[in-house]
């Protein structure tokens, strides 16, 4: 297994990202091809007592696509970026998967331009695994690849989500819910009304609407679908809510001796909470529906999150989930759309 | 000041809601007209050593509109519900404001049918005050009155939000942001692109896009606008994120002696966090844009939350914010739309 890691586009330095790649390579026995600034990559390899070779190799790229660049223009204009060169290397089968913590829009646009879509999939979608209190993940898509969706797109998201939940997450019979503002049928906006009808009459195990405040505690379904705008708002708000509580608590704990002592005693509790609810342990969201294994890591990914994203990518490759999705499209929909 | 409290539609019993009304009436010197089951209301009054009179009176209503009833049908069909009778009493100026923790859709539909809209406002909106780490609220609208919005609706939400933030919350020069999935112009879906243009060229102090995970910590603006579907997802997800962390922590603290001791020492910290981030202390969201002061309380409102909602209603009445909105429409928009 050989995975390309784009080390240029994240919020953190290439160094942090290369470290994550080295960790994953060592622990999981995966070959890593680092795409980016050769000197920076080489320096980090040396620092961690590694050298270039089969396990860790370098794909030099001189350009960086920044977080805020308009995606399509960036992908078209920056041919020597780590993102574009990395995707080309995946297309040429020089690697089995591509992992990037960079500009999400650019990864999506680049993947569609360079790799193409899986036949029959109208819109690729980003599938994010959200940690829940139970310790089991819940898969949500789309997390931001498609900001304006037609109802039928949500049906394809459900199909891809079910395939991924079964083949990669190992859930035998994944159920599907529609993210909505109430659980009863008839709740929500026009898109949701129409998507509900399609899902209800479709071939997947659809259980109805689910609401944002129950997902983490009750985990009512395995796969949740929504349009990418709503999905992205959901993910960021959830992160914001969680980090606001933990941040506020940290601040307050620093303010008195009594609280400091309490904080010390509760350290194991805090680390369990962090472990259960932090995105660092999940790290990567696959872009499903493109012809290749592409994993988008969080922009603020540290070494640990990058290593998790590489694990996600290697599982997606091993499970051959893309083949399932392709078969699903030709098999589950009678007209083979 | 006399405020109508609908005690029938919430998740909790009329008793809890009547208690909240009595608290508010006693502390704030407000007359409360309770709408609902006379016997239940009378029993709670007796229990709290109050009797019917000017301060606390009863508007008997035999029907209840449940949380999950289709709003329009419920409002049209249940003429003897506390919700419909309460709104009629507001329309007849027998009370100055209407407070209900009931079916939000039914309160919105009933308010539009019975009270009508403020001239020039195409769509009323629910404005929710969200607590932030700084201790100052941030106002978000729409929180669910309009699940499908045209771009110009968001402009009216901004106008109403600014009027409310200034007149009721006492913020001298409120700024406005658009809830989006990135801060740069050009981010988001079609609705947001068009709304951004309108806001940018409109008469209000618009500062650009804001993201969900920054709102509580950075409080980048005073007023945030979005469509009601997204706003409702945002609010519920935020609540879900916060309660998931605090719930998980509570569970874990119960599990060892060390953690119990830590929890004891941190009790003041936990109560500050709760005080800062709990909806109980805010309690009520005004429905802006209808011809009357209507406040929607959280469906899970306890007595404390109901008392807060009554405070919100009395402030809205005192500030005459509806007159400002009406003047705003005729004054701030040159064509008097």
Residue A306 has pLDDT above 50, yes or no: yes
pLDDT the model gives residue A335: 44
Residues A140, A63, single domain; the answer is: no
Quick one: which H or E segment has residue A179?
A: strand A176-180
Nearest CA-CA partner of A2 in A94, A86, A99? A94
Instruction: Please give, rounded to a whole number of angstroms, the shortest distance from the CA of A214 to a CA of chain B.
Output: 7
pLDDT the model gives residue A173: 93
Q: How many CB pairs under 8 A join A and B?
A: 180
In a domain, B284, yes or no: no
Predicted local confidence at residue B336, as pLDDT: 38
Both B99 and B174 in one domain: the answer is no
- CA of A59 to nearest chain B CA: how many angstroms apart? 30
B325 domain-assigned? no
| DSSP code per residue over A80-126 | TBHHHHHHHHHHTTSSSEEEE-S-HHHHHHHIIIII-BPTT-SS-EE
Q: Please tell me the predicted confidence (pLDDT) of residue A334.
A: 44
**Can you tell me the ipTM of this complex?**
0.89
d(CA B16, nearest CA chain A) in Å: 23
A254 vs B: CB within 8 A:
no
Split into its structural domains, chain A has a count of 2
| Residues facing residue B286 across a β-bridge | B295
Question: Could you read off the pLDDT of A192-210 as tens digits, one per residue?
Answer: 999 999 999 988 999 999 9
The pTM score is: 0.91
Q: Which residue has the higher pLDDT, A98 or A242?
A: A98
Is residue A99 located within the same domain as residue A190? no
Q: How far apart are CA B212 and CA A25, in angstroms?
A: 35
Percentage of chain A modeled with pLDDT above 90? 72
Distance in angstroms (rounded) separating the CA atoms of residues B38 and B18: 11
Which residues in chain B are closer than 8 Å to A186, comparing Cβ atoms? Answer: 70
Does one domain contain both B170 and B230?
A: yes
Whether residues B142 and B255 fall in one domain: yes
Q: A121-180: per-residue pLDDT in tens?
A: 999 999 998 888 888 889 999 999 999 999 999 999 999 999 999 999 999 999 999 999
Check whether residue A307 and residue A267 sit in a common domain.
Answer: no
- Domain residues for the domain of B311 are 2-120+289-320
Note the pLDDT of residue B337: 39
Taking CA–CA distances from B264, the nearest residue in chain A reads A262
Predicted pLDDT at B280: 56
Q: Is the peptide bond before B117 cis (omega within 30 degrees of 0)?
A: no
Grouping H, G, I as helix, E, B as strand and the rest as coil, residue B62 is coil
Does residue A311 belong to the interface with chain B, where contact is any CB pair within 8 Å?
no
- State what percent of residues in chain B have pLDDT above 70: 96
Q: How confident is the model at residue A336 (pLDDT cuts 50, 70, 90)?
A: very low
In this structure, what CATH number is given to the domain that contains residue B26? 3.40.718.10
List, for residues B163-198, the tens digit of each pLDDT value: 999 999 999 999 999 999 999 898 999 999 999 999
Q: Calculate how close chain A gets to B189, using CA atoms only, in Å.
A: 5
Mark whether A160 and A300 lie in a shared domain: no
Q: Which of A192, A212, A248 sits opposite B240 (nearest CB)?
A: A212
Q: How does pLDDT run across B42-64, given as a tens digit for each residue?
A: 999 999 999 999 999 999 999 99
Residue whose token pair is 């404001």:
B97
The 10s digit of each residue's pLDDT in A22-37 is 999 999 999 999 999 9
What whole-number distance in Å separates Cα of residue A275 and Cα of residue A268?
A: 10
Assess if residue A337 is contained within a domain. Answer: no
Tokens of B148: 């499908």
Residue A155's pLDDT is: 95
pLDDT at A138: 93
- The pLDDT tens digits for B15-44 are 999 999 999 999 999 999 999 999 999 999
* Average model confidence (pLDDT) across chain A: 91
Q: pLDDT-based confidence at B279, cuts 50/70/90?
A: low
- Which has more pLDDT, A332 or A322? A322
Q: How far is A160 from chain B (nearest CA, A)?
A: 23
Task: Tell me the average pLDDT across B219-235.
Answer: 96
Within this chain, do residues B234 and B144 fall inside the same structural domain, yes or no? yes
Residue-wise pLDDT tens digits, A82-129: 999 999 999 999 999 999 998 999 999 999 999 999 998 999 999 998
Q: Is residue B331 part of a domain?
A: no
* Residue B214 falls inside a structural domain: yes
Find out whether the peptide bond into A142 is cis, omega within 30 degrees of 0. Answer: yes
- Asked which of B279, B308, B329 is the last residue of a domain, the reply is B279
The yes-or-no verdict on residue B276 having pLDDT over 90 is: no
* pLDDT tier at A274, thresholds 50, 70, 90: confident
What is the per-residue pLDDT for B209? 97
Kindly state whether A122 is in contact with chain B, defined as any CB-CB distance less than 8 angstroms: no
Q: Quote the pLDDT of residue B333.
A: 53
Q: Is residue B296 part of a domain?
A: yes
Whole-number pLDDT of residue A163? 94
Domain co-membership, B136 together with B258: yes
Neighbours of B23 (CB within 10 A): 18
Q: Do B252 and A273 touch (CB under 8 A)?
A: yes
Q: Is residue B334 part of a domain?
A: no
Whether B106 has its CB under 8 Å from any CB of chain A: the answer is no
Confidence check: pLDDT of A333 > 60: no
B205 lies in a domain?
Answer: yes
Is the pLDDT assigned to residue B205 strictly greater than 50? Answer: yes
The reply to whether B243 and B147 lie within a common domain is yes
Asked if the Cβ–Cβ distance from A263 to B266 is below 8 Å, we say yes
Over residues A5-26, the pLDDT tens digits come to 999 987 788 999 999 999 999 9
The contacts of residue A206 (CB under 8 Å, 6+ apart) are A158, A175, A176, A177, A178, A199, A200
Rounded-to-integer distance, Cα B300 and Cα B162, Å: 28
Beta strands at A284-288 and A293-297: parallel, antiparallel or unpaired: antiparallel
- The reply to whether A9 and A91 lie within a common domain is yes
Contact A266 B248 (CB under 8 A): no
Residues β-bridged to residue A127: A141
Same domain, B266 and B293: no
Question: For A290, phi and psi rounded to 5 degrees?
Answer: -100, 155
Is-contact B83 B9, C-beta < 8 A?
yes
DSSP code string of B266-290: THHHHHHHHHHH-GGGT-EEEEETB
Q: Is the pLDDT confidence value at B335 over 60?
A: no
User: What is the DSSP pairing of strand A284-288 with strand A125-130?
Assistant: antiparallel
A110-114, A230-234, A239-243: lowest mean pLDDT where?
Answer: A239-243
What is the rounded average pLDDT of the residues A266-282? 78
């Amino acid at each position: 297994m050989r995975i390309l890691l784009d080390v240029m586009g994240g919020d953190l330095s290439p160094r942090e990202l290369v470290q994550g790649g080295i960790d994953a390579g060592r622990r999981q026995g995966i070959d890593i091809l680092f795409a980016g600034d050769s000197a920076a990559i080489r320096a980090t390899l040396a620092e961690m007592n590694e050298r270039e070779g089969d396990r860790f190799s370098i794909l030099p790229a001189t350009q960086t696509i920044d977080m805020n660049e308009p995606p399509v223009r960036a992908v078209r204009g920056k041919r020597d970026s780590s993102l574009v060169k990395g995707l080309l290397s995946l297309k040429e089968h020089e690697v089995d998967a591509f992992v990037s913590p960079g500009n999400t829009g650019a990864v999506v646009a680049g993947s569609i331009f360079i790799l193409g879509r899986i036949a029959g999939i109208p819109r690729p979608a980003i599938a994010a695994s959200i940690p829940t209190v139970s310790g089991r993940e819940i898969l949500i898509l789309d997390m931001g690849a498609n900001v304006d969706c037609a109802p039928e797109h949500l049906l394809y998201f459900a199909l891809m989500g079910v395939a991924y939940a079964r083949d990669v997450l190992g859930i035998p019979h994944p159920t599907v819910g529609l993210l909505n503002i109430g659980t009863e049928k008839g709740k929500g906006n026009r898109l949701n009304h129409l998507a509900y009808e399609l899902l209800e009459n479709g071939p997947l195990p659809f259980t109805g609407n689910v609401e944002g405040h129950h997902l983490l505690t009750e985990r009512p379904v395995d796969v949740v679908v929504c349009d990418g705008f709503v999905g992205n708002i959901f993910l960021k708000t959830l992160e914001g809510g969680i980090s606001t509580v933990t941040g506020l608590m940290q601040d307050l704990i620093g303010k008195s001796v009594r609280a400091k002592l309490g904080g010390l005693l509760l350290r194991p509790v805090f680390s369990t909470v962090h472990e259960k609810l932090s995105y660092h342990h999940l790290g990567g969201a696959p872009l499903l529906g493109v012809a290749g294994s592409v994993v988008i890591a969080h922009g603020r990914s540290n070494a640990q999150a990058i290593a998790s994203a590489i694990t996600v990518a290697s599982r997606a490759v091993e499970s051959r989930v893309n083949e399932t999705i392709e078969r699903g499209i030709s098999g589950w929909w009678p007209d083979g759309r």
